[in-house]
Amino acid sequence: MQLPKINISKKHLRIGALALGILTILLIIIGSVAYSKREALLQKMIAKAILKANKAYDLDVKIGKTGFNGLNTVHMTNISVVPKERDTLAIISDMTIGVKLWPLIFGDVKLSEMNLKDGKINLVFKDSLSNIDFILKRKQKDSTEKKPKLALSDIANNLLNQILYKVPDDMEIKNLLLTVNDNDTSKLSFMTSTATIVSGVLQSTILVNKTEATWHVNGEVKAGSKHFDVMVFADNKKVELPYLNNKLHAKISFDTIRTILKGADYKGEDYRIEGSWSVRNLLINHAKIAANDIIVPEARIDADLLVGSNYVALDSTSTVYLKKAEIHPYLKYTLSPNKIYEVKLKTPEQDAQEILNAFPQGLFESLEGLKVSGKIKYALNFYLDSSEPDSVKFDSGLTPSNFKILKWGKVNLQKINDPFVYTPYEYGKPMRDIMIGPSNPNYTPLSQVSSNFKNAILTSEDPSFFSHKGFVQESIRKSFAVNFKEKKFVRGGSTISMQLVKNVFLSRKKTLARKAEEILIVWLIENNRLVSKNRILEVYFNIIEMGQNVYGIGEATRHYFGKSPSELNIGEGIFLANIVPRPKIALFKFRSDGGLKDYMYNYFQYIGNIMARRGLTPSDTSGYGFYNVRLRDGLRQYLLPDTTLIDTNAFDDDDPLPAIETQDESKTLFDRLFGGKKDTVARPATTVDTLKSNKQLRQEKREQRSREKELEKQKIGNG
């Protein structure tokens, strides 16, 4: 198709050329005027910025000399930043900054180059004050201003852009010192002797604490395309974080850590950030995690982070790699209108031995060296809406396929099928060796344990013991709800199998690693039928702590009642079941005449009624043997006077003795069973006898400790 020919007269061409020439001349004139005035404009902009920093942030900013160095490059010398009534934050001797002109026209400040020589940034923390408090001050001021609420996705986009815009295409830094001083106890310094970006290639050398270590942050940085690939490593040693170690009372180190940003953009209304993070030979040592070093030889996560209008999520397309094992996580935190927590984990069916090999070294010591065959897969689903915590959802399942144990690791999980030596620990120290077998006169076969005790403890501790496979998901689900509402850990979901594993195979240190190991061992025992249910219950009854240095049902029945386990009546069975969660305070539940204190009556009614409904004991309106429980005469001399009131909920399981207070014992049954709030205020007693001075209370406490020590000696002497 031939386009029509357009004829333009010479007159119109001359007019167009004249207009274009005039416009060009005007632009040259305006540009010349602007260029001649640019120094004045620069000084005006700098003065305005200094004034704003002073008014908005209480910062005293001083600049020695400023001026243009080329068309779009500004050179500054002798810069200082001092927050009001705080230590100097920054001093820079010489700095040159270049900006990109085209983005600047549209209001975006993007750095094209940056050169910095001889600078110092000093972070000082003194008690609750620091020299970066001005950041919070600005936020507080801004909070009074009414501004349109931005979606989290827009905030994430703006924040990431602001960070990337400040990364120059070309950079050279020499001798920039960063120091951190925290209450004069934790001092840390990073001297960047050199750091350059040339054509997107980043290289740096950082001296840590002068000569302690040399770090490098190297890689590729392309801020314009939202891509970077940066690696942190040290010369001839691990990268250690001494400041965090001191602050967190932990030890953290690694060989290399790598961060990759692959891209970031909107996906519908959500903002998606795609990246990868990996680490080699990560070492973590923290008392809350494990009692020893945990080493992760190799780990990586390919992550898709989604930021919506009111939530942040790690999408299920993400994958965590631990050696050859794969995990697909989904994490979502919704901020409004209610806080919602979602966690999903899925692993495809994988070789079971590869999963075991992927566990970090030192995490599960008792299972090291374990050899297995077959495959396993795992799925977890957790959902908690803060407005409806009782509706929390929890499902967890580890599914085996042709799974077999070929060789034991450090610990033979079937050792409890035969007689063995059990060593209980108190505060990390072994108490004594106890033979769990017929050679021990206190050892009691399951057939010789009174059904009154057996039914009472199963009712209170683990009603579905004979039907579950080591775990009761409903109990765990309810514990999440209760603990969330109480804002602290007040209820666990442990079964008898879990309690047995914790005591026989693991240390008593309360760490995350120990809990995870406990769960895994229970699964191995129950799902592979390594030990029968009856044997688990029999061993549990013979090792369970039931008083100060009292272990097992045989010792307990003789200690409290001078009886054998087969002779326990319903009241004695319910009492012994009651003391299992807090065995060290058992004696404080008795009056000086050997009978139980009145507040225990409701517990007997509660447990007794449940047992009666299940056909485990006859129905009884008189307290299910409450009035028939009598402490043996030999122990009554160690009891406190009846006038001393004690709140047993105020003491932790591991406390050797409860503190004595004059306070009300009339807590509700719900509070006693499910961990109601402590009453830490001493209340006035109703009789003159209970109005004791602090000196008297301390004296009684010393006397009680003395009685306990005598009791200890008596027990040890009796074997």
Structure confidence by residue, pLDDT tens digits, 311-348 = 999 999 999 999 999 999 999 999 999 999 999 999 99
Q: What is the per-residue pLDDT for 5?
A: 57
The mean pLDDT of 481-503, rounded to a whole number, is 84
Q: What is the per-residue pLDDT for 570?
A: 97
Higher pLDDT, 709 or 367: 367
Report the DSSP beta bridge partners of residue 91: 80, 120
Q: What is the per-residue pLDDT for 113?
A: 86
Q: What is the per-residue pLDDT for 494?
A: 86
C-alpha–C-alpha distance, residues 189 and 206, integer Å: 10
Name residue, tokens 């200082």: 80
* Residue 146 pLDDT class (50, 70, 90 cuts): low
- What is the separation of C-alpha 580 from the centre of its chain, rounded to a whole number of angstroms? 29
CB within 8 A of 433, min separation 6: which ones?
Answer: 421, 422, 423
Res 636 pLDDT > 70: yes
The mean pLDDT of 279-287, rounded to a whole number, is 91
* Percent of the chain predicted with pLDDT > 90: 51
Name residue, tokens 């020590």: 709
Q: Which helix (H) or strand (E) holds 638?
A: none
* Residue 161 pLDDT class (50, 70, 90 cuts): confident
Name residue, tokens 């009791």: 711
Higher pLDDT, 427 or 376: 376
Does residue 529 contact residue 404 with C-beta atoms inside 8 Å?
no
Give the helix ranges, DSSP H, for 614-693: 633-636, 669-674
Q: Tell me the pLDDT tens digit for each residue of 517-555.
A: 999 999 999 999 999 999 999 999 999 999 989 999 999
Q: Which helix (H) or strand (E) holds 87?
A: none
Could you list the beta-strand ranges (E) of 236-362. Answer: 239-240, 251-254, 256-267, 270-285, 294-307, 311-314, 319-322, 325-334, 340-351
DSSP state of 659: P
- DSSP letters, 395-429, are EEEEEEEEEEEEE--SS-TTGGGS-EEE--EETTE
- Coarse DSSP helix, strand, coil percentages of the chain, rounded to the nearest 5 percent: 35, 30, 35
Q: Tell me the pLDDT tens digit for each residue of 403-419.
A: 999 999 899 999 999 99
Res 604 pLDDT > 90: yes
- Nearest Cα neighbor of 225 from 167, 159, 152, 153 is 167
* Residue 681 pLDDT class (50, 70, 90 cuts): very low
DSSP state of 210: T
Q: Tell me the pLDDT tens digit for each residue of 69-86.
A: 776 788 889 999 999 888
C-alpha–C-alpha distance, residues 625 and 455, integer Å: 14
Res 27 pLDDT > 80: no
Residue 103 DSSP SS3? helix
Res 686 pLDDT > 50: no
* Residue 21 pLDDT class (50, 70, 90 cuts): low
CB within 8 A of 300, min separation 6: which ones?
Answer: 276, 277, 278, 279, 320, 321
**Alpha-carbon distances of 693 from 665, 681, 697, 698, rounded to whole Å:** 19, 15, 6, 9
Does residue 375 contact residue 400 with C-beta atoms inside 8 Å?
yes
Strands 239-240 and 201-208: unpaired
Residue 249 DSSP SS3? coil
- Nearest Cα neighbor of 436 from 502, 496, 500 is 500
Res 33 pLDDT > 50: no
Res 689 pLDDT > 50: no
Instruction: Report the b/e string of 147-159 with b at 16+ CB within 10 A.
Output: eeeeebbeebbee
Does residue 640 contact residue 700 with C-beta atoms inside 8 Å?
yes
The mean pLDDT of 157-172, rounded to a whole number, is 84
C-alpha–C-alpha distance, residues 167 and 1, integer Å: 51
Q: Which helix (H) or strand (E) holds 25?
A: helix 10-57
Q: What is the per-residue pLDDT for 665?
A: 35
* Percent of the chain predicted with pLDDT > 70: 79
Q: What is the pTM of this model?
A: 0.77
Res 100 pLDDT > 60: yes
Q: What is the per-residue pLDDT for 283?
A: 93
Q: What is the per-residue pLDDT for 43?
A: 78
* Residue 654 pLDDT class (50, 70, 90 cuts): very low
Q: What is the per-residue pLDDT for 167?
A: 84
Residue 663 DSSP SS3? coil
Q: Tokens standing for 29?
A: 């004139």
Higher pLDDT, 90 or 187: 90
Amino acid at 379: A
DSSP state of 360: P
- Find the farthest-apart pair of alpha carbons in the chain and give their distance in angstroms, rounded: 128
Higher pLDDT, 715 or 395: 395
Q: What is the per-residue pLDDT for 522?
A: 94
Higher pLDDT, 107 or 567: 567
Does residue 124 contact residue 87 with C-beta atoms inside 8 Å?
yes
* Residue 235 pLDDT class (50, 70, 90 cuts): very high
3-state secondary structure 523-577: HHHHHCCCCCHHHHHHHHHHHCEEECCEEHHHHHHHHHHCCCHHHCCHHHHHHHH
The mean pLDDT of 12-32, rounded to a whole number, is 60
Q: What is the per-residue pLDDT for 449?
A: 97
CB atoms near residue 320 (< 10 Å)? 18
Angle (nearest 5°) at CA 217 between 212 and 219: 155
Domain ranges of the chain: 37-138, 415-641+667-675
Q: Which helix (H) or strand (E) holds 676?
A: none
Mean pLDDT of the chain: 82
Res 145 pLDDT > 60: no
- Nearest Cα neighbor of 92 from 84, 81, 103, 105 is 81
**Alpha-carbon distances of 576 from 355, 541, 559, 595, rounded to whole Å:** 42, 11, 11, 14
Q: What is the per-residue pLDDT for 685?
A: 32
The mean pLDDT of 474-478, rounded to a whole number, is 87
* Residue 705 pLDDT class (50, 70, 90 cuts): low
The mean pLDDT of 53-67, rounded to a whole number, is 87
Q: What is the per-residue pLDDT for 49?
A: 83
Q: Angle, to 10 degrees, between the axis of helix 134-143 and the axis of helix 10-57?
A: 110
Res 188 pLDDT > 80: yes
Amino acid at 242: P
Amino acid at 399: T
Q: Tokens standing for 592?
A: 């000086």
Higher pLDDT, 665 or 438: 438
Fold of the CATH domain 415-641+667-675? Penicillin binding protein transpeptidase fold (1.10.3810)
Res 687 pLDDT > 60: no
DSSP state of 495: -
**Alpha-carbon distances of 669 from 390, 578, 644, rounded to whole Å:** 20, 12, 21
Res 657 pLDDT > 70: no
Q: What is the per-residue pLDDT for 180?
A: 87
